[in-house]
Amino acid sequence: MVKYIGTHDIQAFIASQSLPTILGQLKQTIRDDYLRWPQFDKTARVASHSPLGVIELMPISDGKLYSFKYVNGHPANTAQGLLTVTAFGVLANVDNGYPRLLSELTVTTALRTAATSVLAASHMARPDSRVMALIGNGAQGEFQAIAFHTLLGIEEIRLFDTDPAATDKLVRNLRGYPRLRLVRAASVAAAVKGADIVTTVTADKRRAVIITPDMLAPGMHLNAVGGDCPGKTELHRGVMEAARVVVEFEPQSRIEGELQQMPADFAVTELWQVLAGQASGRGDAAEVTVFDSVGFALEDFSALRYLDEQVDARFTREIDLVPQLDDPKNLYGLAVSPGAWKEQANA
């Protein structure tokens, strides 16, 4: 039997804890795994692109556990009442290949993305950062806001989205955080002006230029989340040229991130190097920094490992995904009943 966590199960688990608690625990789990970077068998995700979106598989293994995530990104889905991003994942034992956990990852991906954003910002943003601009107020917005507010001390968030209803939704959903000041901005430029951190998490699959060099201020940190597939960006290349850039897995970011618009010799640092103290995330208080976040399989591995270890039997079920046989060499015996076997034998 395989442990299973569905959408209702993850909802009940979150209700039994709190979002800030889970985000903090995920942040630590992701950090711990990034510090084991050399142990992982890493590869860029495998993507199948269409004019309307992308479907991807994200595999990784540390030699003991193997995981993969299935995830899509279809920006036009919301017009049909569908989510832009959905995901599920599997955690398996390397020694026998048996899956041990099948879990929803739609909600969990939002959680791990926010946790990773804060993890990077804790090493890249100025320690005195208190104001953040949030450009894109859709499905990921609340998770980013709560993570930066509760784990990094952000006190004010300036909100902008081309769809005012998305901002309305976000403001409603964040009413439970009265100490977080939410300010509606009339434009991207207005939201960014005076911000210590700028988080971009837009959905449109296009080469957008949302943040331009003239919007930058000394010491600003940019958390660029939305540019996560070929042909999809959010930052003007001049922003990248003006900044220290940190990525998750360089071979993947060269294809999918803001980095895709830069020459092959454009210098970047990988996040694990910053976390391990092998490189600095920020040179001084005036430097502009960019976390070019496209999402990497290690973060999903960490999320699945966290769920496997932390979500107890109250919030899990078991499914017969893999056969259990008295004779492991007799798979045919599972496929047919004894009666059917006799009928076929006598035919």
Q: How many CA atoms lie within 13 A of 146 on its CB side?
A: 25
Give dist(CA 99, CA 67) in Å, integer. Answer: 9
Whose tokens are 């926010």? That residue is 114
Q: Are 300 and 112 in contact (CB under 8 A)?
A: yes
Edge to edge, the sheet with strand 46-50 lists: 46-50, 53-61, 65-73, 87-93, 99-104, 2-5, 317-319
Neighbours of 109 (CB within 10 A): 24
DSSP class of residue 229 equals B
**Strand ranges inside 107-265, DSSP E:** 131-135, 156-160, 181-184, 197-200, 207-211, 221-224, 233-235, 244-247
Give dist(CA 233, CA 331) in Å, integer. Answer: 49
Q: Are 254 and 245 in contact (CB under 8 A)?
A: no
Q: Are 116 and 223 in contact (CB under 8 A)?
A: no
- What residues are annotated to the active site? 228
Give dist(CA 9, CA 20) in Å, integer. Answer: 18
Give dist(CA 302, CA 308) in Å, integer. Answer: 10
DSSP class of residue 216 equals -
